[in-house]
Amino acid sequence: MKRIFPLGFLPVCFALLSFTAVSGEDGYRLWLRYEAISDTGISRSYHSALQQILVTGNSGTIDAVREELERGLEGMLGKKALFVSQLISNGTLMIGTPESSALIASLPLKDQLQKTGQEGYVIKNCNVFNKACIVIAANNDIGLLYGTFHFLRLLQTYHDIGTTDLISIPSTQIRLLNHWDNLDRTVERGYAGFSLWNWHLLPGYLSPRYKDYARVNASIGINGAVLTNVNANALVLTPQYLEKAAALAGIFRPYGIRIYLTARFNAPVEIGELPSADPLDPRVNEWWEKKITEIYSYIPDFGGFLVKANSEGQPGPQNYGRTHAEGANMLARTLAPHGGIVMWRAFVYDNNIPEDRAKQAYNEFTPLDGKFDRNVFVQVKNGPIDFQPREPFHPLFGAMPNTPMMMEFQITQEYLGQGTHLVYLAPLFKECLESDTYARGKGSEISKVIDGTLENHGYSGMAGVSNIGDERNWCGHPFAQANWYAFGRLAWDLSLTTGTIAEEWIRMTFTNDDGFIIPVKQMMLNSREYAVNYMTPLGLHHIMAMHHHHGPGPWVDEGRPDWTSVYYHRADSTGIGFDRTSRGSNAISQYFPEVRQMFDNPGTCPESLLLWFHHMNWDHTLSSGQTVWEELCHAYYRGVDSVKKMQQTWNSLAGKIDAERFNHVKALLEIQRKESIWWRNACVLYFQTFSRLPIPEELEKPDQTVEYYRNIKKYYVPGI
């Protein structure tokens, strides 16, 4: 078949594309596998609908559109993409903007394109000069790339493209990954090897993985990457490292991904030789102005800074008697002329303050509402402690109506099994996003705070702490890839359901066989609840081991109180749980009245959060008819039993996917089973020393003592 290329376009040599050089199924291709379509009827219809491709435009992003179509269509349909420079037949896929294509401009798409903004797109079937066409249209080239990935997703998941008529608009403007990567290539809370960024070899050697990283992120709408750890190293702001970051920015730019860096607040002292980093000191302001101008000389589309300040030992404006707002605004004013932003993290707490740690961020930030500059986000974790298996939503959401809030979710599984447990996090994300703050009355869900619609903010954003490393399959656990995918899909479209996202990912990552999809989807949707049960049921939290946080440690009682487990579970002879009610620390006062009243009463507080807000007697009867002690025991045992059922489900699917990934997951599920028993036995036996009650008769008894579990030591756990 003759191939016709538009002017200025050269065919891509497939041998140079790293995704095509994969042998076996090792997970490297993630959800962009583009496997041959096995259903002959669907394949035939796709062939008919995609006779030729007309792409207009001339940019690096348009080149990426063409490359992705070539790769996808050859993989799925087994044929080279036929690119043409004019409309000549039925079965044309037309891609362009009204500016680049007179044909696109002539179509009745004006009203739809007015809604899509700078990144959205339209995909629809059209009759153009009596030719049956599928059109992907957008206002900008990046919208065309996002639309192309969406179209390829439709093919991958066997959708009927003959009736496609959709408009897709991102829910949030800034959708980015926070890489907690260090300059020595270690990754804090990373469980998939070393950092993807090989700083030593940059900028001279540009790994093919960098482009694949950009492709995969663009496929789910992620448009930003914070390259470095929030526990920042000022060296990243020096020319030596800015040159390296600029090389990455050059690769990411065609895929719509902007580079962000973490700013160490006292960088003027560490690398600028100033005596102070006081944000109100004119010398400090001048230093940052010069530094930011220098950064933009290397990276013209630099996105801005993520800042962790006055938290866990990090320097900040409070070192100089200044507020978070004064510190953030000093940076924001200098970034503003360049279009840059500041993301100022609200993860702050101080063990010297005799206050419930869950209350401290609210106490520090709410008095500053309305005092941050327009281009400052306050970036807030989903819950008030620290990415626990289950937390109530953070009370800051809805409490700062005059300040744009950016959600911070954890994609990496620091407290949910790290690199060994299958835990699908979309249910956790949605549980938070769908929570009603009542800030403006009923219907004030957190999703509306995040997308800016609740308070009509001009900025909106969502950040996810990355789970990506240099392991061949990117994320370590094959199913951890689903959490990266789910974060990106939700950041683009907050209305998506957890089931829809899971099914998309399964179909694209493994197979379109319903015999595999249905049981695996159910397993994924339940997996987070299983983990909560064998780790922290009934609202327990922060009872993991010290330092590396791998495994149980409910007995941890050494060091600063707010880093111990006993500070949080408060088990004693009468009961268990942290009293945050009006009779205790009064953390419930930070929520709006409707939420406050619900949490304050043990009869209306969700039992899944009961021990978060209440210290309950061991013999208190719950809705199940069981006492707190009995329900706690049964939850731990249910969690372990559920992992065993996941194993049975997975084992029954042998032969439905490739052996390499099947056996990898099978081995990890066995590790998860053993570690869930470790969690169960350690916690039940430890809490039994306070309740002094027997483990319910129908449950098997642990075969070791609590001292055995207390003496387990784990060395060199990754991600510390």
Strands 165-168 and 616-617: unpaired
Q: Look at the chain and count its residues.
A: 720
227: CB partners within 8 A, 6+ apart: 179, 181, 197, 236, 245, 248, 259, 260, 261
Measured N-to-C along each axis, helices 324-335 and 282-298 cross at an angle, to the nearest 10 degrees, of: 40
Strands 165-168 and 121-128: antiparallel
In 10 A of CB 183, how many CB atoms? 17
Q: Map tokens 């005799």 to a residue.
A: 354
Tokens of 346: 């609200």
Q: Which amino acid is at 663?
A: N
Q: Which amino acid is at 624?
A: S
Residue 263 is given by DSSP the state P
List 165's β-bridge partners, or say none.
Answer: 124
Phi, psi of 135 (to 5 degrees): -115, 130
Q: Map tokens 């993991």 to a residue.
A: 544
Nearest in space to 114 (alpha carbons), one of 91, 96, 137? 137
- Active-site residue set: 312, 386, 414
List 181's β-bridge partners, or say none.
Answer: 187
Q: What's the N-to-C CA distance of the chain in angstroms?
A: 55
Q: Map tokens 């997996």 to a residue.
A: 527
Instruction: Report how far residue 718's alpha carbon sits from residue 720's, in angstroms, rounded to the nearest whole number.
Output: 6
Instruction: Report how far residue 528's alpha carbon sits from residue 515's, in angstroms, rounded to the nearest whole number.
Output: 22
Q: Map tokens 């061949």 to a residue.
A: 472
Query: Helix (H) and strand (E) counts for the chain?
Result: 22, 15
Measured N-to-C along each axis, helices 282-298 and 239-252 cross at an angle, to the nearest 10 degrees, of: 40
Q: Are 39 and 485 in contact (CB under 8 A)?
A: no
